Chain A
């Protein structure tokens, strides 16, 4: 039972974690990415199509990440070059993506809502002999697919990138102040675009995880708002990779829990709201402590 829950929680964490790390980098560079869900949706769709057509999961991942990055790039250009408000553009992208996905399903595949393709190559699952049978540890380490390992590998990588590398420092400088960054000779807009490309790439992978990792089909509601949960995760983690990963893990746990709570008399709809409630609570606490600090100074 416990092993099951741990395993399921980690499975549900991966898509949130992937997108959240992308969104974290994006936000560090100064853009709040509300459009993660749209990139995830198209990553999921293209991954399935490529995995069925071509049969290579690696190519499917590349195309999904590329598609997400492409959408992210478009969104970023509208925000940085046309000075459009990031929130509105993000919401707009989400609306367009949902409509466009359904439109493509109907006009290209003649199906409504769900796309099933034959011979979909799924993401390989890594079973670790010996460890697999150990209680708890086996559930944590064995039987997860390649993207889960990649996602958790990206957590220390992101932390190292932000703190230790020149590019990470420049990204943080850009997020801290556009003018300041420019006076240092940086090109803040290009740096921001690059961070959105990365966010789109990660969200595209998250989508691929859902379609060719978890279920093997594509559905218009496959993301189930996970792009927004990812947003909640990096707000929860206050842009620290490790804290964000903990947030993603917590929300993945809720996700796994609400599936198990179905049919036990406890309303799963209310469990699903927990990530959103927690973000509001955390924002309130942060704002409250910031106000207290400011109040003490004056």
Chain B
């Protein structure tokens, strides 16, 4: 398969204004299409959207809920973006979320005698390493053999979820638990909450630090520059003496580690264990986040908050109205589709 026609690497370096414009158009179009779906089902789209906005940003508590929902998406968005920037089309962050979450939960309920100062970092490190390890095979295949990473990483997602499901149904199943879940992690392994009565936790701060690091990496470091170069033109990068395969492998592994951390914060900050159906598609939404944010650090942050707002408000509007929560999935998928559509291509005659 040829490299995707929309090389995500070219998204970098947009001016801030243009960035906002290009990010808002897909979102606006998705709102229109989802609005039609809502209207056909007999709901007033404007009322639904007003409610969604209110439930996302209406009070400090709701804003906290939005940021909490955005936390894993920031990680998966960044994880996807680093691989994209190196020219590797990694769609396997979803699998890393599961594997990372499981690893964090395992450490969290196994080494219960450790103090919080050790256990929490240990569990987070396990999550990152597990995610990283999950990308070794597709990363090596891409870097050394140029095997199609889209298909390998997509397949790795299914394998990850199946292995995790097997583990929580058998070897790691909590004693006396009917549903497929691990035991709860120790108090000491839980990410501290930032606000009373909200699930917002320290994972959000880690996410913000990662955004900052990603921005610095892209702007200030040689590695960030080389990565962008390798993503835009591997041949030129090779000609300048860079080891492109090695760089691609590194970025695939980093991508996996970030996916693992996403799973780790979800396990240690929200659910406190690994259960079947752990990730509601955080990795896939992360692709939409990376695309909508155009690979830009602050764009990714904003896109993650936007998608976080959708998922948190979607959960609550189902309680207050009879609008099915699935409208959120429809919106998320639509944004993904419109984010890669180039409407400028319509008027142009094919070359």
Contact = CB atoms under 8 A, between A and B. Distances in A.
Interface residues of B, number: 54
Contact of A78 (B42, B154, B156, B337): B337
Nearest to B7: A85
A125 to B, nearest CB: 31
B343 A225 contact: no
A95 B329 contact: yes
B145 A287 contact: yes
B336 A91 contact: yes
Contacts of A291: 145-146
Interface string B292-333: 000000000000000000000000000000001011111011
Nearest to B8: A85
Nearest to B144: A291
B226 interface: no
B270 interface: no
A107 B146 CA distance: 46
A284 to B, nearest CB: 5
B272 interface: no
A45 to B, nearest CB: 14
A5 interface: no
B281 A95 contact: yes
A89 B26 CA distance: 13
Nearest to B288: A92
Interface string B329-351: 11011101101111101100010
B291 interface: yes
Greatest chain A CB density within 10 A among B4, B155, B163, B281 is at B155
A277 B336 contact: no
A86 B152 CA distance: 16
A287 B163 CA distance: 26
A34 B336 CA distance: 14
Interface bracket on A: 35 or more
Interface stretch (B46-54, B164-172, B188-196): B164-172
B155 A92 contact: no
A117 B288 CA distance: 36
B278 interface: no
Given A92-B337, A95-B332, A280-B155, A270 B163 contact: yes
Contacts of B339: 88
B68 interface: no
Contacts of A89: 336-337, 340-341
Nearest to A110: B322
Interface of A: 32, 34, 78, 81-89, 91-100, 102-103, 106-108, 182, 189, 225, 228, 231-232, 235, 267, 269-270, 272-273, 276-277, 279-280, 283-284, 286-288, 290-291
Q: Which 3 A-B pairs have the closest CB atoms?
A: A99-B329, A95-B333, A96-B333
Given A269-B163, A287-B147, 10 more contacts: A32-B150, A82-B343, A84-B342, A91-B284, A95-B332, A99-B326, A103-B327, A231-B151, A277-B159, A283-B141
